[in-house]
Amino acid sequence: MNEKERIDFLRQEINKHNHAYYVLDTPIISDFDFDKLLYELIELEKKHPDLHDINSPTQRVGGAVLDHFQTVLHKFPMLSLDNSYSINDLKDFDTRIKKIIDIEFDYVCELKYDGVSISLTYENGKLILATTRGDGVQGDNVTENIKTIKSIPLELKGDYPDIFEIRGEVFISKSKFKTFKEKTAQQRIDKGLEPFANARNLASGSLKLLNTKEVSERPLDCFLYSLLGDKLPSKNHFYNLMKAKEWGFKVPSYIEKCKSINDVSEFVKKWEDKRSALPFEIDGIVVKINDIDLQEEIGYKAKSPRWAIAYKFQAEKAITKLNNVTYQVGRTGAITPVATLEPVSLAGTIVKRASLHNSDQIEKLGVFVGATVVIEKGGDIIPKVVSVQDEEKNLFSQQIDYISNCPSCDRKLVRNEGDAKHYCLNYLYCFPQIKARFSHFVSRKAMNIDGLGSETIELLIKNDLINNFDDLYYLKRDKLLLLGKNVEKSTVNLLNAIEKSKTVPFERVLFALGIRYVGETVAKVLANHFSSIDDIISCDDLTQVDEIGDKIAKSVKDYFCESRNIKLINNLKNIGLNFNSKNKDLKSKKLDGMKIVISGVFNLSRSELKNIIEQHSGKYVSSISKNTTFILAGENMGPSKKEKANSLNVKLMSEKEFLELLS
């Protein structure tokens, strides 16, 4: 055996032993013998740099130091899931599904792992890209860090597709987190840092490290639970996962197919009782439709699929003392009262502050300074006060008198009829509002301007360099350097990021403006319906647009009635920001104004059919109504859908007729 053959042999052997140890949990050889093989391979690769392989198992030890993480667009959006908190919520979900499809189907139930979402792309059996969730549309390329996780295969075995994505969760087990925390606690204290609080934060922080050697020393693991691609083994989610296990992926065994929502409920109850015995943290159950064609038929909302839901376990609670109440001013001028608490451990983190929402909630709870309160994390994320334990006040108790003036600019607060919140209307000169507007404008989901963190924005405002969004585009290198917060390289990077933001599409520019009630979804709806911002401004009745109600329409109209906002938009237009819809992908307007339902089995995939509808200006909708133009009907269309179509006199069109219409 020559040295090239020995290198190939060692790579195969080490991959086999990594899989046996980290995926199957059945080691074949001792750690000592494994280390001998790895050391031999490292030395041979040093001797033969011409035989370098980016997917060699030696790459798992790290060593590269990165400058930054490249931003990557997801081929398939990484959506979040709608949450449910009771069995009744799950039954409501089941009812909604059965209104859309009327054939028998299976659910797949999985544990909801408390870690960090990751998407892995494999081409010809080799890992070529690993991406974080980011904002769901784009994330960070963390491939080098992911290679250090030994349970993630760098090369696959078996009959895998040529190219596909597999998604999962990077996590750290309870025992390994405990060991790592104890091992590093003193070292972190010596550096003035707190010991690691919980496994999830450690896993998340590890993927953001630029030194891959440091990442390799973290006890990261990964479960995979979803395949995406054009040539998957089957149209069955559960079967695809079993195939992925054969290829070398660590697919968890805690997955079950369920015939009914009652079976789903039993699965939920079982793991609600047994979750504390698991070797890792979970925060709920994920319920999915098993059939991938049915998933496509049921469809998606703006941020989540309609065919899946997360059941969240009851939030953990803690008891502590409320020491004070402070007030935050939001981007829109909304005032939020915040409880300052005696620090308490809750769901793996130390909580010192919790939301009190508004004055009505304070009155309803009967909260007072000095009270013993119960707090929980809403959706296991945001701490909030949920009740008062001792209702009797003592000598040191203080009643909470809700503020009447803005805590920042002292402007009199206003509360509109029917609104729970108080507002500061000093839009132009209230510092927290200005700062929050800029933070929103430059955020990843909006203009995506890297290098403008909270401190930098504050510095620019206080030095009168920015007051309106257009001021960002007139920032000069010499002025930024004088601030003393930016070295030459970061200043150049910031100016490049500002220039690059001019290419951001219209829907994100619209979202970035920060119009009240215009979130990502509404901005996308408006940008898809109108060809430019001028068309939105001149529209007399925005409620004619699907999904736009009276409240949103009034807010948008009010925004454009302000002369300062029109002036700002004109300035941003002149600077070069994009205020026009991207219509160059449209092939025709043959389906303009049409609402089309897809039902049944076709030669083309559902995603291809949806793309064709959009390319010809049509709109795909998931359910039949009197407003449906026609149903694109394939084989095995459900009888109840046919019945509903007949009752509403909605036309059925075959795949062949549909394609002929567009040709």
Which positions are catalytic?
Answer: 112
User: Nearest 5°: phi and psi at 52?
Assistant: -60, 140
- Mapped onto helix, strand or coil, the DSSP state of residue 563 is helix
- Which long-range CB contacts under 8 A does 564-571 form with residues at least 24 apart? 564/428, 565/513, 566/537, 568/468, 568/469, 568/470, 569/513, 569/533, 571/468, 571/470
CB 655: neighbour CB atoms within 10 A?
A: 18
The two three-digit tokens of residue 37, written as one number: 């093989």
Determine contact, residues 409/430, Cβ cutoff 8 Å. yes
- Strands 335-346, 71-73: pairing is unpaired
Q: How far apart are CA 150 and CA 59, in angstroms?
A: 10
CA dist 97 to 39, 94, 266, 315, 507, Å? 55, 5, 19, 27, 30
Nearest to 19 by CA among 117, 124, 149: 149
Phi, psi of 545 (to 5 degrees): -85, 135
User: How do 630-633 and 595-599 pair as beta strands?
Assistant: parallel
- C-alpha dihedral over 320, 171, 263, 637, to 10 degrees? 120
Angle between helices 31-47 and 3-18 in degrees, nearest 10 = 140
Q: Smallest Cα–Cα separation from 152: which of 164, 170, 139?
A: 170
State how far the Cα of 339 lies from the Cα of 370, in Å rounded to an integer: 11
How many secondary structure helices (H) and strands (E) does the chain include?
A: 23, 20
Residue 633 and residue 650: Cα distance in Å, rounded? Answer: 11
Phi, psi values for residue 378, rounded to 5°: -65, 120
Cα–Cα distance measured from residue 115 to residue 99, given in angstroms and rounded to the nearest whole number: 34
For the chain, the maximum distance between any two Cα atoms, rounded to a whole number of angstroms, is 86
Pairing of strands 255-258, 372-378: unpaired
CA–CA separation, 144 and 154 (whole Å): 11
CB 68 within 8 A of CB 211: no
Q: Is 327 within 8 Å of 338 (Cβ atoms)?
A: yes
Give the residue among 318, 312, 316 at the shortest CA–CA distance from 272.
Answer: 312
